[in-house]
Structure 1
């Protein structure tokens, strides 16, 4: 479950550096910031969701280990998106040349880049609409492929730039397409 703190002008005027400082001052909270400046507290997930997330990270990680095409990130990584949000996808992947183009300081903090690929996994306490809005934020910031996996409704939503969202009923195979060449996942 996510909680949005309505601090109006306070959070909307936070600079990226101030947001990073806020996160560092509150290490027990997992915080995000929407493109509109809303401060979001992300609650921990239960065992089933945590296991699903770990499985997804492992599968993307194994594919990446074999291909050496980029870098895989967990939900603990916050990306400072080019269009203004500071978001932490459940699984993220960035192509090697894009990651290596960042300075060491940029890599060390909240990387100022949108992942090429993300997976958001809806937990039992998550509302669907905020996750869909989050996926649209990724697209607006340069996402090349995204999956919103929704076990509650037995669906997966596929997000691609300049295309309508594709909704698949589960079980269904998902393809990494040209973003993660050769990667496939059957849910």
Structure 2
């Protein structure tokens, strides 16, 4: 995990994450963002490894996510950096997996690809993931409009509560409630369909 120690060591910043994020949006200082990101790199790596199952791909993903933050955090006001980052990492990995399998059809896999057992494992993992994503899409459709809209804006477009409130016209507290209830209803729906 030595690759995680890539940012220069600085003295502990006593300002809050919110203040650091605001300062980054104002200055665009990459070192400031690096200092903010570094304590969470192990968490991001763990999330990536859980989904991608490969050490090198997970390491690359940690760096790709940091590069994504460079531009995303200039546009988004984030209230809870850790949970937002968790969501970003998870979305990034799901998109990686989805893009890895969407265009593969059985005829395109060369016979020398590896053992049949490995191919079957990868194929089953791909089918299972695509099944879960399909189930998630179907469950999203059954949510009430307010829940569906806020959940999609929060998780798919990675908007913060304030941005969602501004975009939809929903009260800030209602936005939080819609997202929380939407998440709960999605989990119930997916549990019923055996997708989790």
TM-score, normalised with respect to structure 2: 0.29
Asked which structure has the greater RCO (Cα within 8 Å, sep 6+), the reply is 2
TM-score w.r.t. the length of structure 1 is: 0.30
Structure (1 or 2) with the greater helix fraction: 2
Higher strand share: 1
